[in-house]
Amino acid sequence: MWASDRAGRRDARVRIGLRGRFIAFVSAIVIAFGVVLTALAVRVQNDRLRHELDERGKLLIAVVANHVTDSLALLDVRQLRQMINETLEQENVLDAVAFDEDGRILTDGTVENPSRHRLIGEAARQHVAVSDALLVEFSGDVMTVTMPVRLGGRPLGGVSLRYSRAGLAEDQAALARKTALVGIVFGVLGVLAAALLTEAVTRPLKEVIEATRAISEGKQAAHLQVRTADEVGELAAAFNEMTRRLRETTVSRDYVDRVLETMGECLVVTRRNGTIALANNAVCGLAGTSEEELIGRHCGELFRAPKGFASLLHALNPEGSVHGLETEILTSTGEEFPVMVSIAAMDESPGRSGRYVIVAADISERLRTERQKEEFITMIHHEVRTPLTAVRGALGLLDGGVAGDLGERGRELVANALRNSKRMERLVNDVLVSRKLDFGHMTFHLQEMELMPLVDQAIEATSSYADRHEVRFDLHETAPGARIEVDPDRFIQVLTNVLSNAVRFSSAGDVVKVSVNRHNGCLRVAVADCGPGIPEKFRDQVFEPFARAEEADWRNKSGTGLGMSISKAIIEELGGAITFDTEVGGGTTFHVDIPESDRLRESHVD
Amino acid sequence: MTRPGRFAAVLFSSSMIVVIACGGRTNERAEPGGLAPLEATGVITFGSVSLNPAREHEVFRPFVDHVASRLGEVGIGRGRVVVVDSISKMVEELKKGRIDVYIDSPFPVGFVWKRTDIDLLLRRWKRGSETYRSVVFVRADSGVKSVADLAGKMIAFGEPFSTSGFLMPKAALASTGLRLDNYEDAAASIPPDRAGYVFSNDAENTLFWVLKDKVDAGAVNEDYYQGLAGSRISELQIILTTGAVPRNLVCVRRNLDPRITDSLRALLLGMDDDEEGREVLMGFEETARFDPCPGGPERQLAGIVDLIQYVEEDVGQ
């Protein structure tokens, strides 16, 4: 049913979600922090190591210088060689020499002594000539320290050694390993922290996403738990509020689905091109096909064009809707099912290219029933009314003495039979009239004429009936010259029905008041009795066919039960209306409103 | 022979003799007068003079083991090293027959040869050279042009018992008529008709003392001279070069079994013929080979013995 939506969701794209970006961001920050921290630590450590090495070298040269003073003074090169040789055994010492006051190397600590007689560096020589302070020179990873040696202010020479900072490099390598390790640890911690933090941050978002997705799929969204008081918590609370209001104003997709699947009426939703986008079970069952087969087909293939229209959608009114349109649904086997269609636009300005909801009710049963009724009426007309007319005629002849004197008892029996046959004839006639009205088969011969004569005729026609009930009519208000366009016989039928009803529910001696006046552009004939009033429970059924109140006195006073429904149908056919005001114990007033003839009304207004 | 210094010598008792057996027995102290006949014991004893017996033993042991293991045909089963701390002791030990073979520089050998019955067996090419000589040098600008000019001057020698650093150059100088007196202080005042000398205890010291004008002249092994002078050789001048003497000599006590003497001579002469022998020789102070003394033993020792008279007191200490 939601194929297009599902297809849309399947169009999943590879993307880095908020979670991934958050993890990457936090990890990068933590790792960067760790690396920077470690780099600073390494730098500090390096500086410390460098300082320590430098100090160690300076201390060593000072010690050596102190020990070689006597040897330099005595020019004991052998002793110097031993001392320098021992110096060479010290850690990080690359080479060492003892030199004389001219800066010439006396010994490099070896027996071969290849450095013998060479001059030490120019800077060192110049320094030794004027200073007794330590000279420190750096070249790459090598520190050269030169210590002048003096005795009693007399320069004896000095010692110089080249000190490797390779140890520093080794320490740096160890530090690099530590840095890498710290980096890895920070990296792992960073990712872990990022994952935890991301989980904490994105879990509510994920829940919101899942809930939103559920809503988009028409499911019931779960209530989100508001865990925190921050923005995320506010989001969850806002979402809950949104879903609550949504539940109040909308129904879930599941709910709609269930409704659509269980509803008896056929429902079809069309797209803008008229093809079917949705079809419920009822229409599938009626058309004898599946939803998949219906979707995509044009609705014209499912619904026959109503009579007088090129297609179903051509029957739409300018507002894009139509109601109670009869047509047929075409089944997959070629059968046709009569349906009553109502169409409503789903868009504001649909035209014929809008989306529509088509609801179709299967009326085949109703039509069959109507056919049966028709057949019944026909049967009544031919099998009951015709013989009844013959019976009534025969009884009339008997009552008229065609068959001689029947005797008192015989006349009573004939009179009784004649009265009941007339009653039966009225009943049959009412039924036939009612049926004609239902099917629109009643023929009205409209004439423009004055109202008041018609009212007088109706009162006159009912006066004998009123006399029998000792009830009097009082026409106390009139509308002289008022004209209406009616079928006079049918209009008088309505008035006599209303008047006879008033008589029937009046007591002997009562006066039924009749008035004619103008009301809301219509002429109103009001007939008021002093009867018991219409029971409240029965008021909605007054104009229903064969309607009878439960109360015993009402049942006794009811006629065929068709009079008021026929009257209402006739008046409405004439463009008027019939209503009543009633009060239990206070009598009832029926109002028969009929449009005043326009031409005359206009002249009256003038 | 090497001797670090007199101070070190004091550390050793004059009667101290260290006997180190080789071939499985070490640190075996020899019993005075108790040496069994060679044939019966099957032991050959090598003697050396040094103030560092342990180091000397390490130097001698592989060589002695090698030699002893190849003298089985003359009843020798193992070798032994006896280290004494003075040449006088060596003379005494040889006289008592407790040392069979004595290897040393020419002047000690000449000194011993004059005092006991030993026979010069072979010449040893120690440090790869068969002979060596000494030079006496001065600064070129010193004004000293000859040995005679050294009168009233101070001379630096190396170690007191070094042949090339002291005995040989001193004997050579003395043989010219120059009278030499030993001083402790290089700055000591010297009579104008005599020359003074001090021990620098190191050839390199000697060189620098001359260069730095601490002394007027110095004497070193000729082989070392050029290396030591290096780029400053032009600042020096040699005023005396001694005659060449054998680098090292091998002696045997005269009453040693001739068969053993012959076998030992033959063994040593052919030791450099095979790889194993050459390897042992190289470990024995870079000895290149042994060869007979050119012109015979007597001729080799004659010139040395003539010079020894000038340093007899020094050698005998």
Residues belonging to chain B with any Cβ–Cβ distance to chain A shorter than 8 Å: 201-202, 204-205, 208-209, 212, 214, 227-228, 230-232
Is A429 a member of any domain? yes
Query: Which residues of chain B lie closer than 8 angstroms to A68, CB-CB?
Result: none
d(C-alpha B1, C-alpha B103), whole Å: 9
| A107/B204 Cβ within 8 A | yes
Q: Which of A5-14, A315-324, A402-411, B297-306 has the lowest mean pLDDT?
A: A5-14
Q: Considering CB atoms only, which of B209, B227, B228 is closest to A75?
A: B209
Is A9 a member of any domain? no
Count the neighbouring beta carbons within 10 Å of the beta carbon of residue A440: 9
| A100/B205 Cβ within 8 A | no
Closest approach of A107 to chain B, Cα-based (Å): 9
| In a shared domain, residues A320 and A239 | no
Q: Which segment, A185-189, A556-560, B104-108, is predicted with the most confidence on average?
A: B104-108
Helix or strand or coil: residue A414?
A: helix
Q: Is the ipTM of this complex over 0.90?
A: no
| In a shared domain, residues A162 and A52 | yes
Q: How far is CA B9 from CA A238, A264, B81, B86, B163, in A?
A: 104, 133, 20, 9, 18
Res. A216: pLDDT tops 70: yes
Q: How many CB pairs under 8 A join A and B?
A: 28
Cα end-to-end distance, chain A, whole Å: 65
Pick among B212, B221, B231 to test the A interface (most A CBs inside 10 A)? B212
The whole-number pLDDT of residue A594 equals 94
| A117/B232 Cβ within 8 A | yes
Helix or strand or coil: residue B4?
A: coil
Pick among A71, A75, A84, A107 to test the B interface (most B CBs inside 10 A)? A75
Is A8 a member of any domain? no
Helix or strand or coil: residue A592?
A: strand
**Would you place residue A228 in the very low, low, confident or very high pLDDT band (cuts 50, 70, 90)?**
confident
| B208/A77 Cβ within 8 A | yes
Single-letter amino acid code for the residue at A442: M
| In a shared domain, residues A224 and A285 | no
Which of A194, A216, A238 is the last residue before a domain boundary?
A216
| B209/A78 Cβ within 8 A | no
Taking CA–CA distances from A109, the nearest residue in chain B reads B204
- For chain A, positions 111-150, list CB contacts with chain B under 8 A: 112-113, 116-118
If you average pLDDT over residues A299-320, what whole number do you get? 84
The whole-number pLDDT of residue A182 equals 74
Closest approach of A116 to chain B, Cα-based (Å): 8
Average pLDDT, chain A: 82
d(C-alpha A508, C-alpha A466), whole Å: 9
Helix or strand or coil: residue A251?
A: coil
Which of A415, A439, A463 is the last residue before a domain boundary?
A439
| In a shared domain, residues A592 and A514 | yes
Taking CA–CA distances from B233, the nearest residue in chain A reads A117
| In a shared domain, residues A223 and A212 | no
Which candidate, A512, A517, A508, A542, places its Cα nearest to that of A527? A512
Q: How far is CA A467 from CA A462, A498, A500, A503, A529, in A?
A: 9, 16, 11, 9, 15
CB B43 within 8 A of CB B77: yes
If you average pLDDT over residues A59-84, what whole number do you get? 90
d(C-alpha A228, C-alpha A247), whole Å: 25
A75 in contact with chain B, both atoms CB, cutoff 8 A: yes
Taking CA–CA distances from B199, the nearest residue in chain A reads A76
Is A5 a member of any domain? no
d(C-alpha B79, C-alpha B83), whole Å: 13
Structural domain range at position A579: 447-605
Q: Which of A58-67, A331-340, A398-407, B35-44 has the lowest mean pLDDT?
A: B35-44
**DSSP string over B173-202:** HHHTT--EEE-S-TT----TTSEEEEE-SS
Domain of residue A568, CATH code: 3.30.565.10
Cα end-to-end distance, chain B, whole Å: 13
Helix or strand or coil: residue B78?
A: strand
| A113/B208 Cβ within 8 A | no
| In a shared domain, residues A150 and A51 | yes
d(C-alpha A3, C-alpha A292), whole Å: 10
A73 in contact with chain B, both atoms CB, cutoff 8 A: no
Size (chain A), residues: 606
Token reading at B91 = 């003379």
Query: Which residues of chain B lie closer than 8 angstroms to A108, CB-CB?
Result: none
d(C-alpha A300, C-alpha B300), whole Å: 143
Taking CA–CA distances from A106, the nearest residue in chain B reads B208
Token reading at B245 = 């003497």
| In a shared domain, residues A149 and A72 | yes
Is A4 a member of any domain? no
Where are the alpha helices (H) located in A295-439, listed in sequence order? 299-302, 364-379, 386-399, 407-439
Angle subtended by helix axes B258-269 and B53-69, to nearest 10: 100
Query: Which residues of chain B lie closer than 8 angstroms to A106, CB-CB?
Result: 208
Which of A362, A389, A417 is the last residue before a domain boundary?
A362
Q: How far is CA B240 from CA A253, B25, B174, B198, B205, in A?
A: 125, 48, 12, 18, 19
What are the residue ranges in chain B where pLDDT is below 70? 1-41, 316-317
Is A3 a member of any domain? no
Query: Which residues of chain B lie closer than 8 angstroms to A113, CB-CB?
Result: 204
| A117/B231 Cβ within 8 A | yes
d(C-alpha B116, C-alpha A99), whole Å: 49
Angle at A537 between CA A533 and CA A541, to 5 degrees: 90
Closest approach of B210 to chain A, Cα-based (Å): 11
Token reading at A575 = 């463009």
Provide the whole-model pTM.
Answer: 0.51
Q: Considering CB atoms only, which of B204, B214, B228 is closest to A78?
A: B204
For a pLDDT cut of 70, what percent of chain A falls above it? Answer: 89
Taking CA–CA distances from B232, the nearest residue in chain A reads A117
A100 in contact with chain B, both atoms CB, cutoff 8 A: yes
Domain of residue A344, CATH code: 3.30.450.20
d(C-alpha B226, C-alpha B95), whole Å: 41
Taking only Cα atoms into account, the Rg of chain B, rounded to an integer number of angstroms, comes to 20
pLDDT digits (tens, 9 = 90+) for A190-209: 778 777 877 777 777 778 78
| In a shared domain, residues A339 and A405 | no
| Type and span of the H or E element at A225 | none
| A117/B204 Cβ within 8 A | no
Q: Which residue has the tokens 């001090």?
A: B198
Res. A382: pLDDT tops 50: yes
Helix or strand or coil: residue A325?
A: strand
**Would you place residue A17 in the very low, low, confident or very high pLDDT band (cuts 50, 70, 90)?**
low
Q: Considering CB atoms only, which of A78, A100, A112 is closest to B205?
A: A78
Token reading at A408 = 């008192």
| B230/A75 Cβ within 8 A | no
The whole-number pLDDT of residue A5 equals 46
d(C-alpha B137, C-alpha B215), whole Å: 11
Is A427 a member of any domain? yes
| In a shared domain, residues A29 and A141 | yes
The whole-number pLDDT of residue A558 equals 61
Helix or strand or coil: residue A512?
A: strand
| In a shared domain, residues A68 and A147 | yes
The whole-number pLDDT of residue B36 equals 41
Closest approach of B206 to chain A, Cα-based (Å): 9
The number of distinct structural domains making up chain A is 5
| In a shared domain, residues A431 and A456 | no
Closest approach of B156 to chain A, Cα-based (Å): 12
Size (chain B), residues: 317
> In chain A, helix, strand, coil percent, each to 5?
55, 20, 25
A107 in contact with chain B, both atoms CB, cutoff 8 A: yes
d(C-alpha B181, C-alpha B154), whole Å: 9
d(C-alpha A538, C-alpha B316), whole Å: 166
Q: Which of A18-32, A84-98, A566-580, B184-198 has the lowest mean pLDDT?
A: A18-32
Taking CA–CA distances from B213, the nearest residue in chain A reads A75
Is A540 a member of any domain? yes
Q: Considering CB atoms only, which of B214, B227, B231 is closest to A75?
A: B214
Domains of chain B, CATH where assigned: 6-129+246-296 (3.40.190.10), 134-241 (3.40.190.10)
| In a shared domain, residues A275 and A350 | yes
Token reading at A512 = 């039924």
Res. A188: pLDDT tops 70: yes
